Amino acid sequence: MSTNYINKKNCFILIPVYNEGKSIFKVINQIKKLGYKNIIIIDDGSTDKESKSLGKKGVYYARHCTNLGQGASLGTGWKIASLLGAKCLIAMDGDGQHDPGEINKFINKINRGYDVVLGRRKFDGEVPLFNRIATEIAKYLMWAVYGIWVNDSQSGFRAYSKKAIDDIAVEASGYEFNSKVIAETVRKKLKYTEVGIKTIYNNHSLKKDKRQSLYNGLATFFKLVFSI
């Protein structure tokens, strides 16, 4: 078997968090139960009480002294994964929207030779209407700005191979990070694919979405169009 074969031991899970104290511990426990030991948590300047004990959970932990945005946390986590010699990096949300049980789908694709695997959310059930519309708009915007067609450019559940970790360099603080990573993937001629994933909506993520979705949607839209 190749030494580059990705398994639970050489794969790193990256979770950016901001005031996710209510859900992150459950997510960490679920991931550990599945046998993944390398978990990187980037605390993006959380102010909730629960997040203070994140560093004691047996994970690789780093903290931004102020809130910068999801993209900045992913960027920091990306560099830390590279420092730790990760052969595969899986990025996922800390609010419980992503099912850790689906991580193996991503690893399978990386082991088949893909460099970037993008999670494609299934929009059924109780997914808020705004999120469905925003994802559709983001899809066409991605095509208009970068000329790349992907079904879900904003999904945070993704996997990157060692080559992608080394080759992709994106500097963005907000949600535009995800779109820019796809653009870089295409620019660097890396092999990418999409896998279908479940999207779990709990009380915490629904509340968070209501607070953030409109602002983040508009900010991402303008940053993509004008950043540029």
């991931």: which residue's tokens? 31
CB of 2 to another protein, least distance (A): 28
Compute the least distance from the CB of residue 145 to another protein, in Å. Answer: 6
Q: Which is nearer to another protein, 113 or 226 (CB)?
A: 226
3-state secondary structure 126-191: CCCHHHHHHHHHHHHHHHHHHCCCCCCCCCCCEEEEHHHHHHCCCCCCCCHHHHHHHHHHHHCCCC
Q: How far is the CB of 137 from another protein (least distance, A)?
A: 16
Question: Residue 68: which of 173, 171, 172 has the closest Cα?
Answer: 173
**Closest separation between CB of residue 223 and another protein, Å?**
9
Report the residue number, 181 or 195, with the smaller CB distance to another protein: 181
Give residues in contact with another protein (CB under 8 A): 42, 60-66, 68-69, 72, 75-76, 79-80, 83, 144-146, 171, 173, 225, 228
Q: How far apart are CA 102 and CA 28, in angstroms?
A: 14
Between residues 34 and 84, which has the closer beta carbon with respect to another protein? Answer: 84
Element (DSSP H or E) covering residue 105: helix 103-111
Q: How far is the CB of 228 from another protein (least distance, A)?
A: 5
Nearer to another protein, 69 or 119 (CB): 69
Q: How far apart are CA 211 and CA 56, in angstroms?
A: 29
Closest CA to 87 of 166, 149, 147: 166
Q: Which is nearer to another protein, 34 or 144 (CB)?
A: 144
